[in-house]
Amino acid sequence: MNILVMGAGAVGSVFGGFLAEAGHQVSLVGRATHMAAIREQGLCIQGIWGEHLIGNLRTFTAAAEMPQQDLDLVLITTKSYDTEQAAGQILPLLSEKTLVLSIQNGLGNVEAISRIVGEHRTVGGRVIFGVEAIAPGRVEVTVYADKVMLGSHTGEVDHKRIEETANAFARAGIPTEATTEIDKFIWGKLLYSCCLNPLSALLEVAYGELSEHVETRTIMTSVIQEIFAVARRKGVAPAWDSPLEYRKLLFERLIPDTCSHHASMLQDVRRGKRTEIDSLNGAVARLGEEVGLPTPVNRMLTQLVKAKEQMRKGLQPG
């Protein structure tokens, strides 16, 4: 396949690197320092999936730099607040057969992409493995909790094509499956992210420590209860029968499996960058307001992260 990774940071680099190593033609669009390092030294992927050095990657700092070509697949791996801009930038490069896959955090990304490129091209993805950027040109896969899931938000994409894409990912070394219920998996990832990301960012600890204290466990339990209530009011059936069932999974398997991981939100805060809180707990609070349900814990976490964002920005030089 001819593949473009739009917003190739840590996660996008793993997808692009593994797919290139498997023989696909891959182009990356990302930050100048990261792209320059990959051009000069290759892309180094290290961590729990082994050591890889991939050199057959084409790198760009903007989609407009790319020559017109016949793309089979575009992966959008930008931060959620850049989704619409990224979708608009890739639009001139798409053909009718190109699939556009959201590999992102939070709610609203698939809908934003589909408004620009069309439902017939748009595929949603749920990713629940962790990657950290070590240095320009070098990323590390730190944790793995479950397979990547791919699916059409509306059913307008031929499921066979989604299965073919999932199989290509799996053959490249990224465990992946196709599903006809992608919303269920996106909301499941939302539960995970909303419980862990803001608390990891606010308290500056790894995920494992969050389950060790009654106070943080209580906060996460409230986050879960609020999200279940909003999902049901919105007509989304979570993959678990009750908040208690998901809470058990989170504390007994998901957190232990990713206990050493620090949220990317913490890295954003430390660097004085904008976080994705608006597409996570902030999205839950907005949807709760739309359907008339109070979400005080998700709203408070959103406000606290935004406050920390502003405070850390004030500490950044220049």
Which of 16, 142, 32 minimizes the C-alpha distance to 77?
16
Name every residue whose Cβ is closer than 8 Å to that of residue 17 and which is 6 or more positions away in sequence. 26, 43, 45, 52, 54, 57, 139
CA atoms within 13 A on the CB side of 46: 9
Place of tokens 């996008």: 12
Contact 83, 113 (CB under 8 A): yes
Burial class of residue 76 (count of CB atoms within 10 Å of its CB; 0-12, 13-18, 19+): buried
| 189 given a catalytic annotation | yes
Residue type, 203: L
- Among residues 79, 147, 184, 189, which one is catalytic? 189
* Residues β-bridged to residue 101: 75, 123
**Positions marked catalytic:** 189
